[in-house]
Amino acid sequence: MAKVRIPTVKGTRDFYPEDMALRRWLYDHMRAVAEAFGYQEYDGPFLEPLALYAAKSGEELVKEQAFVFPDRSGELITLRPELTPSLARMVAQRQKQLVLPLRWWSFGPFWRYERPQRGRGREFFQWNVDLVGAATPETDAELAAVGATFFRRVGLQPQQVRILVNNRRLMDTQLAALGIPAEQRKAVFRLIDRKEKMQPAAWEAYAADIGLSPAQIQGLYALFERHDLWQTSDELRRFFAAAEALGVADYLRYEPTVIRGLDYYTGTVFEARDHAGRFRAILGGGRYDNLVAAVGGEPVPGVGFAMGDMVITLVLEAYGLRPDLPLSPAQALVTVFDADHWLDSLRLAQRLRAAGLRVVVYPQPARLGKQFKYAHRLGIPVVLVRGPDEVAADRVTLKHMGTGEQVQVPTEQAADRVRQWALD
RNA sequence: GUGGCCGUAGCUCAAUGGCAGAGCACCUGACUGUGGAUCAGGUGGUUGGGGGUUCAAAUCCCCUCGGCCACCCCA
């Protein structure tokens, strides 16, 4: 075995061609969906000053879960753990010249210094979609619709993946009605956020610990059963009406226990989960109305979500939806019959490329069986042979690797035949 | 960062203190102009790495690296 003397950095992944093909596949679908809704692609730097994150995000996200290091001048540099602060700065910097509301999307790498686990690494790719400069529930619904449309596009059904929706202002009102004072509500949000992952007894102990009375705890339990609670919120009524109009209502469901961890969400929040609950959140997002102001701009409302590449990949695998992608981009392999016909093969390949085809030539003369096997293993759909018989008659033999069908045609017809077979 | 489980051939896994193995994969041949199927043969290992105990360590102990699980947090 070849000894790997220098391993990958903990929590990072090598992207071999088959892995890269899947990443590219995800990217292509993200792009198609985002552009269908008119979103523009953008990106920020991968390196940011630590100060960008100081006033925002979750405190913990930066203090304990970011890669931070000094550069040669001593400035503290951060490998970006999320994109929203960069987005906020970019908007604030050009606030006066940007056309608002803006719809932007991005797909790129992010880093978090965490303990790796299934669906969670230290280096991952994330799809970010944001709409900045509008504050309507209808735009909240549009963001959820972008996520739902992605799920539909990659074959995930509403029975398999659902976007769970809640609203922090609604929950704020409900908590107030339970007599929970404003200064306690942030802690209670965290409590609600952890409801699903704790045993009832432990959860109640935690609730009592942050100062809730038994009556208030019972009140929370009652809230969690109120799946019709959204009807008391004008924002959510408009949200679900818009989702219906956008054709994604079947992917959405009101869920009173969804609250999201990040502190900067102010209104509607949502996260996508697989139906079986086997994986962590597939995407998460919501409305943030104060973010741009935090980096020095005029307050501008926004709504957005992020989806990581690792969990969505696991979910696609779980439902048998991970695509079989071709290993090689080549549509045809030209064999090299022997040393005397080597250049004939090169000429044939060039002729096919000039006709717009993607063609690989076997690198040297070898047994034809070996060359066919090479094409088979790379998933190249058509194999061409130009040996003594073919050269004498100015013809080419082609074999369709999927069906086993084989024909010999005049050389000038070879390109059309490859094109026809490569589509199957 | 805390606690737990686990690292053996490219992959999935055996061997529980006594000669490191199997299946699949890969290579070669049967088949000198044809992949997948079958048969035969073959390559491949410092048992993640380092140290210790022992006549003897994949096996027991310590350290370390990595993966997984639960916290924490979150994509």
Segment A69-91, tens digit of pLDDT: 889 999 989 999 999 989 999 99
pLDDT score recorded for residue A57: 47
A63 touches strand B (CB under 7 A): no
Cα dist from A257 to A127, A165, A197, A254, A346, whole Å:
25, 9, 11, 9, 64
- Report which of residues A267 and A263 the model is more confident about: A267
- In terms of pLDDT, which residue wins out, A291 or A187? A187
Report residue A370 as tokens. Answer: 């070996």
> Cβ of residue A369 near strand B, that is under 7 Å?
yes
Q: How confident is the model at residue A299 (pLDDT cuts 50, 70, 90)?
A: confident
Task: Identify the CATH number of the domain in which residue A183 sits.
Answer: 3.30.930.10
Note whether A272 and A371 are same-domain residues.
Answer: no
| pLDDT 10s digits, A327-383 | 899 999 999 999 999 999 999 999 999 999 999 999 999 999 999 999 999 999 999
Asked whether residue A1 is assigned to any structural domain, the reply reads no
On whether both A251 and A385 belong to a single domain, the answer is no
Confidence of residue A138 (pLDDT cuts 50, 70, 90): very high
Q: Are A92 and A292 in contact (CB under 8 A)?
A: yes
pLDDT value of position A163: 96
Q: Is residue A324 part of a domain?
A: no
- Give the whole-angstrom CA distance, residue A406 versus residue A401: 9
Q: A123: which nucleotide lies closest, measuring CA to C1'? A: B75
- Helix locations, A285-424, DSSP H: 291-294, 309-318, 342-354, 368-378, 388-393, 414-422
- The residue among A264, A285, A318 that closes a domain is A318
- Quote the pLDDT of residue A117: 86
* Nearest nucleic acid nucleotide to A381, CA to C1' distance: B35
Q: Residue A386's domain spans which residues?
A: 332-422
A5 touches strand B (CB under 7 A): no
User: Do β-strands A161-167 and A332-334 pair in parallel, antiparallel, or remain unpaired?
Assistant: unpaired
Q: pLDDT-derived band of residue A3, with 50, 70 and 90 as boundaries? A: very low
Q: Say if A258 falls within a structural domain.
A: yes
Least confident of A34-48, A59-73, A306-320: A59-73
Of A83, A133, A127, nearest in space to A103 by CA:
A133
* Residue, of A93 and A59, whose pLDDT is higher: A93
Q: Is the CB of A350 under 7 A from strand B?
A: no
Which residues 304-323 of chain A have a CB under 7 Å from nucleic chain B?
A: 306-308, 310-311
Euclidean distance between CA atoms A89 and A114, whole angstroms: 26
Model confidence at A65: pLDDT above 90: no
Note whether residue A4 is domain-resident. no
Taking 70 as the threshold, does the pLDDT of residue A20 lie above it?
Answer: yes
Protein chain A, residues 127-186, with a C-beta closer than 7 Å to any atom of nucleic acid strand B: none
- Separation in Å: B8 C1' and A168 CA: 53
Q: Is A406 (CB) below 7 Å from strand B? A: yes
Provide the CATH number for the domain around residue A348. 3.40.50.800
Residues A241 and A353 placed together within one structural domain of the fold: no
Nucleotides on chain B within 7 angstroms of protein Cβ = 1-3, 9-10, 26-29, 31-36, 44-46, 65-75
More confident of the two residues A118 and A272: A272
Using the CA of A59, which nucleotide's C1' is the nearest one?
B73
Query: Per-residue pLDDT for A245 more than 90?
Result: yes
The dihedral of CA A76, A80, A81, A85: what is its sign? Answer: positive
CA of A391 to C1' of B38 (A): 35
A374 nearest nucleotide via C1' and CA: B35
How many whole angstroms separate alpha carbon A265 and alpha carbon A288? 5
Average pLDDT over residues A236-243: 97
Q: Measure A343 CA to B21 C1' (Å).
A: 48
Q: Residue A113: inside a domain, yes or no?
A: yes
pLDDT for position A148: 97
Is nucleic acid strand B under 7 Å from A72's C-beta? Answer: no
Whether A202 and A312 map to the same domain: the answer is yes
Of the three residues A288, A318, A348, the one that is the final residue of a domain is A318
Q: Is residue A421's beta carbon less than 7 angstroms from any atom in nucleic acid strand B?
A: no
Q: A348 and A398: one domain?
A: yes
Q: Among residues A286, A318, A350, which one ends one of the domains?
A: A318
As for the ipTM of the complex, it is: 0.86
Contact A308, A108 (CB under 8 A): no
Q: Count of domains in chain A?
A: 2
- Would the Cβ of A7 be found within 7 angstroms of any atom in strand B? yes
Asked if strand B contacts A379 at the CB level, meaning under 7 A, the answer is: no
> Is A379 part of a structural domain of the chain?
yes
pLDDT of residue A276: 82
Spacing of A375 CA from B12 C1' in Å: 26
* Gap between the Cα atoms of A81 and A121, Å rounded: 12
Q: Are residues A313 and A407 both part of a single domain?
A: no
Q: Quick one: A304 and A404 in the same domain? A: no
- The strand B neighbours among A residues 221-250, by Cβ under 7 Å, are none
Q: Are residues A203 and A348 in the same domain?
A: no
pLDDT band at A232 (very low <50, low <70, confident <90, very high): very high
Q: Is the dihedral of CA A74, A80, A81, A86 positive or negative?
A: positive
Q: What is the tens place of the pLDDT at every residue in A157-203? A: 999 999 999 999 999 999 999 999 888 888 888 888 888 777 788 88
Nearest amino-acid residue to B45, taking CA and C1': A1
Residue at A217 is within a domain: yes
Structure confidence at residue A63 as a pLDDT band (50, 70, 90): low
A62 beta carbon to strand B: under 7 Å: no
Asked if the model's pLDDT at residue A35 lies above 80, the reply is yes
Output the pTM of the full model: 0.92
Q: What is the pLDDT of residue A59?
A: 58
Q: For chain A, give the mean pLDDT.
A: 90
Residues A301 and A396 in one domain: no
What radius of gyration, in Å, describes the C-alpha atoms of chain A? 28
A160 and A35 assigned to the same domain: yes
DSSP, residue by residue, A380-411: -SEEEE--HHHHHHTEEEEEETTT--EEEEEG
A357 and A296 share a domain? Answer: no
| Residue percentage of chain A with pLDDT more than 90 | 65
Q: pLDDT tens digit string along A122-137?
A: 999 999 999 999 999 9
Protein residue at shortest CA distance from C1' of B66: A10
Residue A191 lies in a domain: yes
Type of residue at A300: V
Cβ of A115 near strand B (under 7 Å)? The reply is yes
Asked if A217 and A284 sit in the same domain, the reply is yes
Question: Poorest-confidence range of A43-47, A203-207, A296-300, A341-345?
Answer: A296-300
